[in-house]
Amino acid sequence: MEISEAPGVASPPTSQPLQPVSIWRQINLNVFWMANQFHWQALSSIVLPSMVAKLLDPQQQNINLALVIAWGTLAAVFVNPLAGALSDYLPFRLGRRRPFMLIGTILNLIVLVVFAFTPNLDRSILLFMLAILYFLLQCSNNFANSPWSAIIADQVPVQQRGFTAGLNGLALLLGTALGSIVAGSIVNKHDALPVYKNEITLIFLIVAVVQMLFVAYTILTVKETPLPPEQYSPIRFGPFFRKFFFKPSQYPDLSWVLLARLLVMLGIWAIFYFLQYYADEVLNVSGEKFIGQIFLPLLLVVALPTSVLAGWLSDRWSRKKLVYISGITMTLVCLLFIFWQNTTGALIAAAFFGIGYGAYTSVDWALVTDTLPPTDEAGKFLGLWSAMGILPQVVGISLGGILLQLLQGFPNHLGYTILFSVTVFYFILGTIVISRVKSVR
């Protein structure tokens, strides 16, 4: 099978919408992301760090967490662009994106149910099983969500994408808030082991039910036009895989946007997974409760209106300037963590991070859609964009886990000070890189 290189046949065409899209339709396009973010926020920020600390050796928690997260996340780096590109070409009656969401979600639900009962496993195999299940969780979930990243580019006209991106950021932040609060309310590693095992089972089943309901709603309410049979170009996998590689000079603005996303996400993910341990060790409070019920909800109360406002402003003012503002703000957050290591400093940092993160989540997606090449391969390029948000998770948690493990026991929490200092560099460099984009104001 082959993907032809001939003009008009190289990829299945998608027609650019000429009429504005209703707000209700824009909301329906983004509903899935709230459940997806609920899924990852509950598990990544609260549940998995808690399980590693409670069920495995607490003295090795940093490196064990890195081992669990890194390998699974690395798989998603490859699944994202592959699934996104396949969705550009494969003809289904349900459309190009929805079948991937349906299949990926079914697999995702199976893994979540199995995950729910891992606390009952023998400790000798638990680390291995957590890593394997997290690997499968990443593969199945990203098989569903990567193609869906292209649905807005498929259906929303350019002049509305800033606002739609703001709604996308709003959905992500709502999912983050709810995931943090629900998981932080249920899971507590200081509870007795039998109680704790039931808490873990409950939170995984809640995540599975939420994912199932929101995906069902999305599939029923969002309609796609199937790829016409005469426009289907069969796939030969040699040319297909070669299409993932392009010279940065071929699409310079897209390349700068992808690099900027890689750097900014490195800054976020280098510290994200370790916030619970930071609260335990530096702030001397319960990590699950403080991060899940206070820190992240406060961050998100600020981020929610910021996300919508930034999306609206980016259509009328400047996308790049909003990235500059968000980068400077997130740099300030890291400095607060370094020089003000108590709960008051952490809460002030949460508020400022809400401003920076809220602005970035809405503008980032609008930037990449603005710089997409003039082809009909949005799924492929947005899969690469998704991968640039996932690869930093692998690098960030690996370096962070090794750094914190090596510096464990040093005075004045030296490991966290160095880790936050490194993230300052990431945020500054990511902000500078976006200035090289020429086609976006």
Higher pLDDT residue, 20 or 120?
Answer: 120
In this prediction, residue 241 carries a pLDDT of: 54
The rounded distance, in Å, linking the Cα atoms of 370 and 364 is: 10
Q: Angle at the Cα of 319 (from 424 to 96), degrees rounded to 5?
A: 100
Q: Which of 244-258, 399-413, 423-437 has the lowest mean pLDDT?
A: 244-258
CB distance 196 to 189 below 8 Å: yes
For residue 289, give both structure tokens. 């409760």
The rounded distance, in Å, linking the Cα atoms of 197 and 54 is: 10
**The pLDDT of residue 5 is above 60:** no
φ, ψ (nearest 5 deg) of residue 439:
-85, -5
b/e map of 412-436 (b: 16 or more CB within 10 Å)?
Answer: ebebbbbbbebbbebbbbbbebbee
**The pLDDT of residue 365 is above 80:** no
In this prediction, residue 236 carries a pLDDT of: 60
In this prediction, residue 9 carries a pLDDT of: 30
Higher pLDDT residue, 260 or 229?
Answer: 260
The rounded distance, in Å, linking the Cα atoms of 12 and 234 is: 10
**The pLDDT of residue 16 is above 60:** no
Q: Is 431 helix (H, G, I), strand (E, B) or coil?
A: helix
Residues 103-145: pLDDT tens digits? 999 999 999 999 999 998 888 899 999 999 999 999 999 898 8
The rounded distance, in Å, linking the Cα atoms of 162 and 149 is: 15
For residue 258, give both structure tokens. 């992808």
Question: 246 falls in which pLDDT band (50, 70, 90)?
Answer: low
CA terminus-to-terminus distance, the chain:
41
What is the DSSP-derived secondary structure letter of residue 52?
A: H
Longest CA–CA span in the chain (Å) reads 68
Q: Angle at the Cα of 263 (from 260 to 268), degrees rounded to 5?
A: 120
**The pLDDT of residue 298 is above 80:** yes
CB distance 100 to 147 below 8 Å: yes
Closest alpha carbon to 208 in 81, 117, 79:
117
Residue whose structure tokens are 């016409």: 228
- Output helix, strand, coil percentages for the chain, rounded to the nearest 5: 80, 0, 20
Q: DSSP H helical segments within 116-229, as ranges? A: 123-148, 151-155, 161-186, 193-221
Question: 189 falls in which pLDDT band (50, 70, 90)?
Answer: confident
In this prediction, residue 250 carries a pLDDT of: 66
Q: Mean pLDDT across the stretch 42-68?
A: 90
φ, ψ (nearest 5 deg) of residue 188:
-145, 110
Closest alpha carbon to 387 in 85, 165, 166:
85
For residue 87, give both structure tokens. 């969705």
Higher pLDDT residue, 102 or 159?
Answer: 102
Q: Which of 160-164, 256-260, 376-380 has the lowest mean pLDDT?
A: 376-380
**The pLDDT of residue 38 is above 80:** yes
In this prediction, residue 361 carries a pLDDT of: 76
Q: Which of 31-40, 79-88, 196-205 has the lowest mean pLDDT?
A: 79-88
Q: Mean pLDDT across the stretch 12-22?
A: 57
H/E element holding 342?
none
Question: 4 falls in which pLDDT band (50, 70, 90)?
Answer: very low
Higher pLDDT residue, 366 or 359?
Answer: 359
DSSP string computed for 322-341: HHHHHHHHHHHHHHHHHH--
The rounded distance, in Å, linking the Cα atoms of 257 and 388 is: 10
What is the DSSP-derived secondary structure letter of residue 6?
A: S
**The pLDDT of residue 1 is above 50:** no
The rounded distance, in Å, linking the Cα atoms of 434 and 257 is: 6
Write the single-letter amino acid at 178.
L
**The pLDDT of residue 282 is above 80:** yes
The rounded distance, in Å, linking the Cα atoms of 190 and 251 is: 52
**The pLDDT of residue 239 is above 70:** no
Residue whose structure tokens are 């997290």: 134
Question: 230 falls in which pLDDT band (50, 70, 90)?
Answer: low
Compute CA 70 distance to the chain's CA centroid, rounded to the nearest angstrom: 14
For residue 357, give both structure tokens. 């993160």
The rounded distance, in Å, linking the Cα atoms of 12 and 96 is: 10
Higher pLDDT residue, 406 or 173?
Answer: 406
Higher pLDDT residue, 343 or 386?
Answer: 343
The rounded distance, in Å, linking the Cα atoms of 333 and 272 is: 13
The rounded distance, in Å, linking the Cα atoms of 412 and 204 is: 36
φ, ψ (nearest 5 deg) of residue 13:
-75, 145
Higher pLDDT residue, 278 or 76?
Answer: 278
In this prediction, residue 2 carries a pLDDT of: 31
Question: 247 falls in which pLDDT band (50, 70, 90)?
Answer: low
**The pLDDT of residue 213 is above 90:** yes
In this prediction, residue 377 carries a pLDDT of: 63
In this prediction, residue 17 carries a pLDDT of: 44
For the ranges 145-154, 200-209, 246-255, the one whose mean pLDDT is highest: 200-209
The rounded distance, in Å, linking the Cα atoms of 160 and 195 is: 49
Q: Which of 12-21, 202-211, 410-419 has the lowest mean pLDDT?
A: 12-21
Average pLDDT, the chain: 82
Q: Which of 72-76, 299-303, 371-375 has the lowest mean pLDDT?
A: 371-375
The rounded distance, in Å, linking the Cα atoms of 67 and 73 is: 10
The rounded distance, in Å, linking the Cα atoms of 397 and 403 is: 10
In this prediction, residue 11 carries a pLDDT of: 39
* Positive or negative torsion for Cα 415, 77, 206, 67: negative
Statement: the pTM of the whole predicted model exceeds 0.85: no
**The pLDDT of residue 59 is above 50:** yes
Task: Give CATH superfamily name and number for 23-227+243-436.
Answer: MFS general substrate transporter like domains (1.20.1250.20)
